Amino acid sequence: MVFRKLPGVSASGMGLRLSQKFVFLLFLSGLVTLCFGALFFLPDSVRLKRIFLSKNESPAVTVGSDNELSKKLPVDQEHQRAASKGADANVKPKVSRKPSVTHGARTVERSVGSRAQDEWSPARAHEPAARDERVTSAAVNGQHGSAFNYETYKKCLTKPALGKDRGNPSDSETVQRREKVKEMMKFAWDNYKQYAWGKNELRPLTRNGHIGNMFGGLRGASIVDSLDTLYIMGLMEEYEEAKEWVQNNLDLNSNGEASLFEVNIRYVGGLLSAYYLTGAEIFKQKVLELGEKLLPAFNTPTGIPRGVINLGSGTSWSWGWASAGSSILAEFGTLHLEFVHLSELSGNPVYTEKVMNIRKLLNKIEKPHGLYPNFLSPVSGNWVQHHVSIGGLGDSFYEYLIKSFLMSDKTDEEAKKMYYSAMEAIETNLVQKSPGGLTYVAEWRGGILDHKMGHLACFSGGMIGIGADDGPAGQKQHYLDLAAEITHTCHESYSRSATKLGPEAFRFDGGAEATATRLSDRYYILRPEVIESYMYMWRLTHDPKYREWGWEAVEALEKHCRVDAGFSGIRDVYSSTVSHDNMQQSFFLSETLKYLYLLFSDDDLLPLEDWVFNTEAHPLPVIHKTCLQEHSTRQDGGQTPLE
Ligand code: DMJ
């Protein structure tokens, strides 16, 4: 049959005109494009990944492709609104009925007496990390590069780790003060041992143990955090007990949900230090086993890890309270030191690669006024909101930049450049002088200053001090002065309280000068940051006032925080009738008491030429690369693992 072509009418059996057919086709193709495009606008979903990725394919992409991704994945509007509300560092977990979350990690603030740890639960916002991507023990440990040689590492230190005489000071007053600090450590330890052995922390009023849920199913946080402090102080019997517990009881086969940051700074940091100081193989074995369990957290589209990881399954999530499923600057930015050492020990570059990928993204991304906001999407690689702080949520990221440079024997030029640019932006935008002449570092909320400084931000005196030597030409004195001024301000926050201990946050507005104006900021949970800055400033200047300030803190701790069965935080530093929070934080043993002990020791105990302290005060050795290379070339013609 022949169809006769009528003018303007198609030859199709549907009897459509050519123009109608064209419009229809256009509509159809539009629909198809829309459906396909919509897939890219859907939230990050494991189901989609299953469709588009084969079972063994990793969803992770390299930094190079982030920009592409970020164009395709705009941040969810609803989350964005939540993010702008949550920009406050007092951001609360949605799941908790009590204020604030987790331990005093600089990343997250928490109020005294809160049971937030017990109530915490991560938002299961994201996909499980690809299980089959996990690297096997054999692959991770020891089958890459050359084996780590403990003797060679020791030879490459410029001085003995514990000094000539374990840092024993020459004057009798300082000897007595140091002895007092050692006694405090023994008292804290003995009570932990008696009432909370194997648990994470001691509750000194109720005389029992606290487990919490920051460390997944891991136990013994106070033990792992104390190993190096006990060793450095020469509490050898206690150190041996701790080591034996690690050997026989530290079970890493846990299936719980842990904070990647907390496990890294306390457990990985604690075990690494213990190994480097003592050479006991058990610590190396445990830390490599644990390091491997943290790797799946990096299986995200950008390689920026999420905050929470299930140590058993490798599944990871973002914190429920973090805006738009974001990761926190101070968390993913505080892995570098430990991960570089995991590569050193295992000979496997994977750990260094993971943290270098984070570095690369942060280096590349545009920064508002040169500042680093605290929330970043691990999916798009974009900032989620513009809250900047050198205290909670931001702090140890800056610390790890300068310490990465120092730990690399001053060869890591990229870290150095990033640190000094960040410092310049911080000075331009955040550093302020109060009407009373106190220098402080304010917080920044999208261009608006919040005239508040957290206790956590007081570590910055020490950080700026240790970075003074290597900044732009002619800036050394400037940085030393700034470090001294900030440390002075933080001391003022202590000396203006009734207990001579500092509040969680203090303000410089409404007539306040280094004092807390809100009831909720008045607590002190045995934090170390102010004392940490005294210790560094003492080492850098030998100005006796830093030892005096440290001693004031010892007296205040003894008077207000020591109870019959340990040390406890207090709820209000402005009231001399104290109310205790019933918690002996593990960082009191790893940081507060260690920094006090170092403050009253000679500088040759853990000399700063050879050691950097991680953010939990666990000393890690500087990698004297040239020396290590020389030795390894001489011994086996191989290369050092970092090559
Ligand atoms: C410690 O766990 C670490 O110093 C961390 O970086 C933040 N703060 C607590 C102690 O305050």
Task: Please write down the HEC assignment for all residues of 164-228.
Answer: CCCCCCCCHHHHHHHHHHHHHHHHHHHHHHHHHCCCCEEECCCCEEECCCCECCCCCHHHHHHHH
Q: Which atom of ligand 1 is nearest to the CA of 525?
A: 11
> From the CB of 105, is ligand 1 less than 6 Å away?
yes
Ligand 1 touching residue 618 (CB < 6 A): no
User: How much is the pLDDT for 629?
Assistant: 86
Q: Which atom of ligand 1 is nearest to the CA of 399?
A: 6
pTM over 0.85: no
What are residue 110's DSSP bridge partners? 100
Beta bridge partners, 448, equal: 445
pLDDT at 26: 72
Residue 29 pLDDT class (50, 70, 90 cuts): low
Q: Could you tell me which residues are beta bridge partners of residue 85?
A: none
**Is 616 near ligand 1, meaning CB less than 6 Å away?**
yes
State in Å: Cα 504 to ligand 1 middle.
12
Segment 300-321, tens digit of pLDDT: 999 999 999 999 999 999 999 9
Q: Three-state SS across 563-583?
A: ECCEECCECCCCCCCCCECCC
591 C-alpha to ligand 1 centroid (Å): 8
Quick one: average pLDDT of 577-593?
98
Burial class of 129 by CB neighbour count within 10 A (0 to 12, 13 to 18, 19+) = buried
C-alpha of residue 616 to centroid of ligand 1, in Å: 6
Helix (DSSP H) and strand (DSSP E) numbers for the chain: 25, 19
- Residue 41: predicted pLDDT: 38
Q: Measuring from atom 5 of ligand 1, which residue has the nearest CA?
A: 105
Report the nearest-CA residue for atom 2 of ligand 1.
Answer: 105
Q: Name the 3-class secondary structure at 310.
A: strand
CB–CB of 476/469 below 8 Å? yes
Structure tokens at 128: 């499980």
253 pLDDT more than 60: yes
Q: Looking up tokens 């300030």, which residue turns up? A: 549
Q: Establish whether residue 117 lines the binding site of ligand 1, counting it when its CB lies within 6 angstroms of any ligand atom.
A: no
Distance 528 CA to ligand 1 centre (A): 8
Is residue 253 within 8 Å of 238, Cβ to Cβ?
Answer: no
The CB of 270 under 6 Å from ligand 1? The reply is no
SS (H, E, C) 382-440: CEEECEECCCCCCHHHHHHHHHHHHHCCCCCHHHHHHHHHHHHHHHHHCEEECCCCCEE
Query: Average pLDDT of the chain?
Result: 83
- Per-residue pLDDT averaged across 624-641, rounded? 70
Which residue shows structure tokens 């809100």?
518
**Per-residue confidence at 145, pLDDT binned at 50, 70, 90?**
low
Q: Which atom of ligand 1 is nearest to the CA of 532?
A: 4
Residue nearest to atom 9 of ligand 1 (CA): 105
What's the CA gap between 479 and 372, in Å, rounded?
Answer: 20
504 is catalytic: yes
Name the residue with the closest Cα to ligand 1, atom 1.
105
Write down the catalytic residue from 504, 513, 529, 616: 504
Q: Distance between CA 557 and CA 547 in Å, rounded?
A: 15
Q: Is 399 in the pocket of ligand 1 (CB under 6 A)?
A: no
Distance spanning both ends of the chain, measured CA to CA: 79
Query: Of the candidates 500, 499, 373, 502, which has an alpha carbon nearest to the alpha carbon of residue 426?
Result: 373
639 or 215, higher pLDDT: 215
pLDDT (0 to 100) of residue 17:
66
The token pair that represents 399 in the structure block: 């610390």
For 86-98, how does the pLDDT look when each residue is reduced to its tens digit (9 = 90+)? Answer: 333 333 332 222 2
The answer, yes or no, to whether residue 67 has pLDDT greater than 80, is: no
Tell me: the pLDDT tens digits for 216-228?
A: 999 999 999 999 9
- For residue 215 and ligand 1, the question of a CB distance below 6 A is answered with no
For a pocket test of ligand 1, which of 112, 262, 395, 591 has the largest count of ligand atoms closer than 8 A to its C-beta? 591
Ligand 1 pocket member 102 (CB < 6 A): no
Q: Does the CB atom of residue 402 touch ligand 1 within 6 A?
A: no
How far, in Å, is the centroid of ligand 1 from the Cα of 416? 23
Q: What pLDDT shows up at residue 19?
A: 67
Any ligand 1 atom below 6 A from CB of 106: yes
- Cβ(594) to ligand 1 under 6 A? no
Distance (angstroms) between ligand 1 centre and the Cα of 7 equals 82
Place of tokens 């006024």: 369
